[in-house]
Amino acid sequence: MEEQPTTAVICASVHHGNTKKLAEVISEALAASMHSVEEANAIVAPELELIGFGSGIYCG
């Protein structure tokens, strides 16, 4: 049976995709699963040791 990641990264990347690119690198480095905000409800949080959140910075 395949071992499930104990870390998840949840990412919202809207405009240029730069936040998603960074989240992909972090996910790979941590051997984490990566999810969109819409997919976040499907995550079983008690099974995780670490959850990271990423979003762009918006002004205006």
- In whole angstroms, give the CA distance from residue 20 to residue 54: 8
Per-residue confidence band for 4, with pLDDT thresholds at 50, 70 and 90: low
Q: At residue 20, what are phi and psi to the nearest 5 degrees?
A: -65, -40
10-54 tens-digit pLDDT: 999 888 888 899 999 999 999 999 999 888 888 877 888 999 998
pLDDT of the residue at 17: 87
Query: Any idea what DSSP says for residue 60?
Result: -
Question: What is the domain partition of the chain in residue ranges?
Answer: 7-55
Among 7, 1, 12, 17, smallest CA distance to 55 is for 12
pLDDT at 58 over 80: no
